[in-house]
Chain A
Amino acid sequence: MDGWLGVLIMLVLGVGFAAVMIGLSVLLGPKNPTPEKLAPYECGMPAVGDARERHSVKFYLVAMIFLLFDIEIAFLYPWAVALRDLGWPGLMQIVTFFMILSVGYLYVWRKGALDWAPAARARNALRRGPRKAA
């Protein structure tokens, strides 16, 4: 437990430091709130609409795909540590794992879930010309 105690101490020190700094500045700073200062910033004009609009579903997709590959990486670490004990069969197993996941990865890629510019593929195809069209 000794190593973890150090991590905990650093965590507490970090939180304490930030809290103390914020506390100090709340104590030491002037307080003159005016309506203009308290309004959200929108390039100098009054804000239009509520900030809580709906945003693109792409963020959800990125988080979801990240989660799935994160799980894959969590499997990767014990394998990496134990590789020398597992030998070539272990490598084959992880390659099988990656192959199956790469099917998913290619599917996600082809379906455009990884594209952030909507017309990127079409634009690239136009720029490259007909002979390089996939």
Chain B
Amino acid sequence: MDLRFAVQLGIIGLTFFMLINASAVLVLAERKIMGFMQQRYGPYLVGPHGMLQPLADIVKLLFKEELRPKAADKWLFNLAPILSVAAAFTAFATVPWGAETTFFGLLDDPVSLGVADLNVGVLVIFAVTSMGVYGIVLAGWASNSKYSLLGGLRASAQMISYELSYATALAAVILLAGSLSVREVVDAQSGYWLGFIPRWYVFLQPVGFIIYVIAGVAETNRAPFDFPEAEQELVAGYNTEYSAVRFALFPQAEYINMATMSAVATDLYLGGWHGPFLEQYGLGWLWFLMKVGLILFTYIWVRWTVPRYRYDQLMNFGWKWLFPAAVINLIVTAALVLYFNA
């Protein structure tokens, strides 16, 4: 085991650890931001400004009774949250979060800051996102309860409907970059036009970016597309029969999916870790974090601002508006790329 391999393992471990923390931080951030938007404090009793609230929640959930309805299928009931979480973590594996670095000369070959540097990275993102459907649909089925099953079916139908627009928007970015490797897409966005406008793809693909963000919000079952989890209609949808940790794993998978969507959007549209000043000190990943944080804040902001879609409106929008828009965006982008011979 040489040093480089050890460093790579260390980076993978660090990414994994940060993802777990990210889901905890996001829970707290959501509650605080929600509170401030509703003109009240969020949690503030546990720890300074409520910062230890997620820890308290985890401890409480660990000690809660794990219920499983008698009629529920034992294997699938347990498998569903594991599938959701596994798909969420694996999706983030394809996202590089920093430039290649030699750690100030410690290593001979530069190692990339990110779990995996695949040359078909964008496709793998798409593939693992497709697999994320199974956790939800299995949860709905295995609970053997009407609310769960309907919630699970609706959630998965929604997710697969928006996946088409998601993938087509990604395909347009690949057109521009000419490569499926996420790292190459980010590197194609380095540099500036006219000296001060960064070459981010969001400027070349504004429609594509909007399509991607909308599809991403729908993919992660977040508001305004969170009808499958609507507390008013379906109790908790596919979550109804889950308690304690098995329940907590679903929102955790959801938050990690949110983080992945934001990270992918940052890498593919917002130039990843490129930005003024910080890159030359090897701190490009700070830019990455800031951009991801911005998108996550927008996620939370939208959730507590916009009313929820009705299910048929949701499906109509995905199939009849977003998908044709994504396809037209792709064709127009292709024509423009060929015309300008970029």
Contact = CB atoms under 8 A, between A and B. Distances in A.
A–B contact (CB under 8 angstroms): yes
Interface of A: 2-7, 9-11, 13-15, 17-19, 21-22, 24-26, 28-33, 37-43, 47, 49, 51-53, 55, 59, 62-63, 66, 69-70, 73, 76-77, 80-81, 83-84, 87-88, 91, 94-95, 98, 109, 114-117, 120
B66 A29 contact: yes
A33 B334 contact: no
A80 B171 contact: yes
A15 to B, nearest CB: 5
B85 A7 contact: no
Interface of B: 8-9, 12, 15-16, 20, 61-71, 78, 81-82, 85-90, 92-94, 115-119, 122-124, 130, 143-150, 153, 157, 160-161, 163-164, 167-168, 171-172, 174-175, 178-180, 235, 240-241, 244-246, 248-249, 311-312, 315-316, 319-320, 323, 327, 330-331, 334-335, 337-338
B160 A62 contact: yes
B174 A7 contact: no
B246 A55 contact: no
Given A7-B116, A10-B90, A40-B71, A63 B157 contact: yes
A42 B338 CA distance: 58
B146 A42 contact: yes
Given A25-B61, A32-B65, A70-B164, A39 B70 contact: yes
Interface centre among A31, A49, A63 (most CB of B within 10 A): A63
A43 B147 CA distance: 10
Nearest to A86: B338
A29 B64 contact: yes
Contacts of B62: 21, 24-25, 28-29
B116 A41 contact: no
Given A25-B245, A91-B338, A10 B92 contact: yes
Contacts of B68: 38
Q: Chain A binding site: helix, strand, loop or mixed by DSSP?
A: helix
A116 B319 CA distance: 11
A75 to B, nearest CB: 10
A30 B187 CA distance: 53
A41 B240 contact: yes
A3 B144 contact: no
B86 A120 contact: no
Nearest to B143: A40
6 closest Cβ pairs, A-B complex = A14-B89, A6-B116, A116-B312, A40-B145, A25-B245, A10-B93
B153 A55 contact: yes
Contacts of A11: 86, 89-90, 93
B63 A29 contact: yes
A7 B124 contact: yes
Given A24-B62, A40-B144, A62-B157, 18 more contacts: A5-B116, A6-B117, A9-B9, A9-B115, A15-B85, A17-B16, A18-B85, A25-B245, A38-B69, A39-B69, A41-B240, A59-B157, A66-B163, A76-B167, A76-B330, A77-B171, A91-B335, A116-B311
Contacts of A43: 235
A69 to B, nearest CB: 5
